[in-house]
Chain A
C-alpha cells in the first residue's frame, strides 16, 4: 500500500466548475500536510498548507481529517490556468516529504 494515495484522475472539467481532490495517508504519525501544484515539465510548487481546522485561500479550500487520515482540496470556479497536476504531500519524521502520485486536472473552455 502506498503511503500517500490520491484520486487516479485525470479530471476533465469545464471552466467555472467546482472540483474536489481526495488523498489518504497511511502513517498516523505524519506531522504536516500540503498540496503542491506541478505544471507540465516544471518543478512542484507549494499551493497551500492543510490545517486541521480547514483553511481557504481564494478559490481553494483544504481540509484535513486526522482521525480518518484524509486530506482534500476543493477548487471553486475553475479557471483554464488551474490545469496542472495536484500533488498531495505529507511530512513525516525529520522533515521527509512523501508525495502522492498526483492527480491531473484539465479545465476546458
Chain B
C-alpha cells in the first residue's frame, strides 16, 4: 500500500524557532509537494520538487525553505517560526504524469503546527 509519512502529527513551537517538518514516501515517486491548509483558504502550495536536489516555489513560499537530498524525503523548513505559520501542513507525492492519469497523488496524514 502506497504511503506518505509525516514525522509528527502535532507540533508546538515557539516564535523564532527553526522548525523542520519531515516527509517520507515509499513509492519511488519523482514529485513531492508541501501544502498548508487554513480555514476558508483551502490548500495552498508552498514548495514542490520534481527530482532530488530540485525545488520550485509554489504560491506562498515566503518564510519557508525546503530540502530534497534523497528521492524519498522532502523536508519543509521554517527558518524562524511565526504565529501566522500556525496551520495544518500536508505533504504529497506523485509519479511522473501519464496521459489521462491522476499521477498517483497521495497525501500524508498532516502535521498540525502551532506556533506560540
Query: Would you call A43 and B45 a contact (CB within 8 A)?
Result: no
- Known contacts A34-B102, A87-B42, A102-B42, A97 near B110 by CB under 8 Å: no
- Partner of B102 from the list A46, A94, A102 (CB cut-off 8 Å) is A46
Query: Would you call B50 and A94 a contact (CB within 8 A)?
Result: yes
Total count of chain B residues near the partner, CB < 8 A:
26
- Partner of A101 from the list B41, B105, B110 (CB cut-off 8 Å) is B41
Q: Does A99 make an interface contact (CB < 8 A)?
A: yes
- Partner of A96 from the list B41, B48, B107 (CB cut-off 8 Å) is B48
Q: Which residues of A contact B102 (CB under 8 A)?
A: 32, 34, 46, 49, 91
In angstroms, Cα B105 to Cα A4, docked, is: 18
Query: Would you call B105 and A46 a contact (CB within 8 A)?
Result: yes
Total count of chain A residues near the partner, CB < 8 A:
20
Q: Which residues of A contact B97 (CB under 8 A)?
A: 91, 94-95
- Known contacts A94-B50, A95-B31, A97-B33, A44 near B42 by CB under 8 Å: no
Interface residues of A in 43-88 (CB under 8 A from B): 43-46, 49, 87
Query: Would you call B43 and A44 a contact (CB within 8 A)?
Result: yes
Q: Which residues of A contact B103 (CB under 8 A)?
A: 32, 91, 95
In angstroms, Cα B94 to Cα A44, docked, is: 14
Q: Does A42 make an interface contact (CB < 8 A)?
A: yes
Q: Measured between C-beta atoms, what is the minimum distance from B22 to chain A in Å?
A: 16
Q: Smallest CB-CB separation from B9: which chain A residue?
A: A41
Q: Which residues of B contact A43 (CB under 8 A)?
A: 90, 107-110
- Some 28 contacts from A to B, beta carbons below 8 A apart, are A32-B100, A32-B103, A42-B109, A43-B90, A43-B107, A43-B108, A43-B109, A44-B43, A46-B105, A87-B42, A91-B97, A95-B50, A95-B94, A95-B96, A95-B97, A95-B103, A96-B48, A96-B58, A97-B33, A97-B43, A97-B45, A97-B92, A98-B45, A99-B42, A99-B43, A99-B44, A100-B42, A101-B40
10 additional A-B residue pairs with CB within 8 Å, beyond A32-B101, A32-B102, A45-B107 = A42-B109, A43-B90, A43-B107, A43-B108, A91-B97, A94-B50, A95-B31, A97-B92, A99-B35, A102-B42
